[in-house]
Amino acid sequence: MKVSLFEQVPYRHMPAGFEDHYTSVVTAPYDIVEPRLMQESLVSAYAELLHGARAGLDGICVTEHSQSSYDVSPNPTLLASAVACAAQAENLDVAIAVLGRSLGKTREPLKIAEEYALLDCISGGRLIAGFPVGLSYDANLNAALPAIETRERYREHRELILRAWSEPRPFPWNGRFEKYGQVNIWPRPIQQPHPPIWIPGTGSAGTLRDILERDYAFVYLSWDGPKLVGRQIFDRYWQLAAELGRDQNPYRLAFLQVVAVSETDERAEREYADHLQAHYRSGLGAVPATAMAVPGYAEPAAIEGMLRSGGHGMLARMKTATYREIVDSQVAIVGSPATVADQIEAFVREFRIGNLLVMLQNGSMPRDLTEKNISLFAADVLPRLRPIWDAEGWENHWWPRGQGTGGAVPNTAGAAPKSADARPEAPDAVPDVAVGGRA
């Protein structure tokens, strides 16, 4: 299986009790920030991602949050580009996953197409392109876009980007939200007709159907852990895959898990407990519930799923979550290498997860402890996980094609690729492009 380092970029020096007085999004006050410590937080994130690449993880993953104190990453391609350049200089064969730029809120989708294409070229064909809708507070509060339009914008922008990457000639675009006299982006991605597409989501039936019909990879960026929501999300996914005639290839599925490793279970608690509590309380725990789904943002099927779930996840309780609650529920998997590997292997096999994203820096965790976490995970846990699916012989069609070349792949973007459909994407139509990272 493939295991990648997922990292947000929090401001690591939040004052005690922040969650009791402020929110972490939209109105988070900047007067609590000391610029020197902000710089330290940002530089540490870059260093930790590069440390993960050097330690032998298969990929690095970054994501986008705007006007947020728990992830200061308004444009993740900046951080990803820095890591990609360093990885090329050191000949590190590491995937660069941007999970990603929010297509439901952007007013410049072609800028995203160009940035992703540039990153694919810089990395030698190692980009994984994440196409998230975007969080409601960001799209509908920060960006002031009508909530009811968010997903329609997403679908149009996704189709425009796919066509811009693969169309061999300039073309006009006359969509509902975007109009361009000529579309002719430079550069084009090395991976043609496009890099592998990963779609982050919360597991609503409509999103899962869309992903499976187009043969993309589903990324469940969970904050509840496999124990609380695994059966609900993954059983639904694999059942729908079977109904749509898709195989049970585990690489169709990626999952995010918070992990903290130390020499023993007891030492792990001493080293990580305070940081994990701070991470959940001052991060997601300080996001107002009303900001996560402004009326009109979620589709009817998604609302039905939320109601049926009964609110048993940890998200609603993160503001007061204790270390013991976090660990017992597997919201975070913490302990010795053996404890961590046992728990991860069990749920990976149970839910058929082929791409694991591990979050090894959380909240206030400093760089030295984070790098220790990365090193221990890579040395003592990763070898247990890599061969899990080898015996079944599956091919990972959703992994960058530049991987394993030992360097940059030739630029074949000038070749005439298959053209995408010229029309904006219909909800149930499969675009006329190769999907799932296949040539």
pLDDT reading at 433 higher than 50 = no
- Choice between 354 and 300, residue whose per-residue pLDDT is larger: 354
What is the pLDDT confidence band of residue 80, given thresholds at 50, 70 and 90? very high
Show the DSSP H helices in 75-224 as ranges: 76-89, 109-122, 136, 150-166, 205-214
Confidence bin at 304 (pLDDT 50/70/90): low
**Mean pLDDT over all residues of the chain?**
88
Q: What is the mean pLDDT of residues 335-353?
A: 97
What is the model's pTM? 0.88
CA distance 382 to 387: 9
- What value does the mean pLDDT take over residues 178-188? 97
Strands 2-6 and 197-201: unpaired
pLDDT reported for residue 423: 33
Q: Parallel, antiparallel, or unpaired: how do β-strands 253-261 and 217-220 relate?
A: parallel
C-alpha to C-alpha distances, 314 to 42, 43, 221, 319, nearest whole angstrom? 28, 30, 14, 10
Structure tokens at 386: 């890599």
Q: Is the pLDDT of residue 426 over 60?
A: no
- pLDDT at residue 310 greater than cutoff 60: no
Q: Is the pLDDT of residue 418 over 50?
A: no
> What pLDDT sits at residue 297?
76
Q: Are 268 and 386 in contact (CB under 8 A)?
A: no
Mean per-residue pLDDT, 199-204: 89
Q: What is the pLDDT of residue 135?
A: 82
Best CATH choice for the domain 2-392 from the list 3.20.20.30, 3.40.140.10, 3.30.300.30, 1.10.357.140:
3.20.20.30
pLDDT of the residue at 305: 58
d(CA 58, CA 95): 6
Give pLDDT, residue 47.
97
Q: Which of 46-50, 245-249, 395-399, 423-427 has the lowest mean pLDDT?
A: 423-427
Could you tell me the CA-to-CA distances from 109 to 2, 42, 119, 161, 354 in Å, in that order?
A: 29, 26, 16, 7, 30
Could you give the CA distance from residue 120 to residue 125 in angstroms, rounded to a whole number? 5
pLDDT band at 284 (very low <50, low <70, confident <90, very high): confident
Q: Is the pLDDT of residue 308 over 60?
A: no
pLDDT, residue 229, reads 83
Closest Cα partner for 297 from 152, 155, 142, 108? 152
In this structure, the strands spanning 171-174 and 197-201 are unpaired
Please report the pLDDT score of residue 403 as a whole number. 61
